[in-house]
Amino acid sequence: MKTKTQVCIIDDEQDGRDYIALLLTNEFPEIQMAFQASSVEEAYRYLSKSSPDIIFLDVQLQDGTAFDLLSKFREIDSRIIFITAYENFAIQAIKNSAADYLLKPIRKIDFIMAVNKVLENMKKSKNTSSISLSENKISLPTLQGFRLTNISDIIRCEADSSYTTFYLADKTKIIVSRTLHDFEEHLTRYNFFRIHHKHLINLFHLKEYIKGKGGQVVMADQSVLDVSVRKKNDFLHKIENLE
């Protein structure tokens, strides 16, 4: 389990990466550097397997743009702070769910404000999106307030960009304006498993596993969901040791 906020710096210029790393070391010692990359391909390989809390993402990279990189994913759980020398990229960055954006050359005060903003939003998200009010209940925020739900009644959770849909045993659906990542760590303790970037399932509601390259699962609500190839072995091991 991660104990520190982890960040990834994606910038085609070594000086740019070094400067951000220095600012983080001096101003945010509680943050841990997880990875650095200079190209779309290098960043893609890392992000396909890892999910840092924050990504500093330069718009112009060695072999493409930040938007080329993001187009390779249906969903990225990380908060993204875009970095660009051109202010006209700000609108496109916002459309790609930017947590914030910084203009080059990066000013120290702007950097500190952007990181503090993201850290504060992460804290609020954690406090409001997955609050366990007892050992077996979770509070799900809605437009009207919140719904207190038995964790055992949740069959599965499905990601849709910055939203998560909860499918319950009574056939109701609850749509929450939070990413699936916000709930994953909390629910994993209750034998939930993320079989795919879109799907977090309650293993106690699993009915069947169908063999295949990654395979598929059949849930109690009759939904048939894909298991990603890279999650298959961990999923099968988890099932074998399910308590």
Distance CA(70)–CA(84), nearest Å, equals 15
Domain end point (choices 128, 155, 173): 128
Domain end point (choices 93, 111, 128): 128
Residues 107 and 82 placed together within one structural domain of the fold? yes
Residues 12 and 119 placed together within one structural domain of the fold? yes
pLDDT at residue 192 in the model: 94
Residues 11 and 120 placed together within one structural domain of the fold? yes
Whether 219 has a pLDDT exceeding 60, the answer reads yes
pLDDT at residue 134 in the model: 55
- Specify the number of domains making up the chain: 2
pLDDT at residue 158 in the model: 95
pLDDT one-digit tens code per residue, 9-53: 999 999 999 999 999 999 999 999 999 999 999 999 999 888 899
Average of per-residue pLDDT across 53-77: 88
pLDDT at residue 139 in the model: 83
DSSP structure class, residue 152:
G
Distance CA(5)–CA(187), nearest Å, equals 19
Residues 160 and 50 placed together within one structural domain of the fold? no
Question: What one-letter code names the amino acid at 96?
Answer: N
Average of per-residue pLDDT across 223-233: 93
Residues 28 and 103 placed together within one structural domain of the fold? yes
Residue 139 sits in a domain whose CATH number is: 2.40.50.1020
Single pTM value for the model: 0.57
65: β partners: 60
Which long-range CB contacts under 8 A does 116-121 form with residues at least 24 apart?
118/54, 118/79, 118/81, 119/5, 121/79
- Report helix, strand or coil for 15: helix
Residues 56 and 109 placed together within one structural domain of the fold? yes
**Residue bearing the bigger pLDDT, 3 or 63:** 63
Average pLDDT of the chain to the nearest whole number: 86
Residues 84 and 176 placed together within one structural domain of the fold? no
pLDDT at residue 125 in the model: 64
pLDDT one-digit tens code per residue, 115-142: 998 898 777 666 554 444 456 888 887 7
Residue 76 sits in a domain whose CATH number is: 3.40.50.2300
pLDDT at residue 2 in the model: 52
Residues 124 and 137 placed together within one structural domain of the fold? no
Q: 99 lies in which domain range? A: 5-128
pLDDT at residue 97 in the model: 60
- Report helix, strand or coil for 69: helix
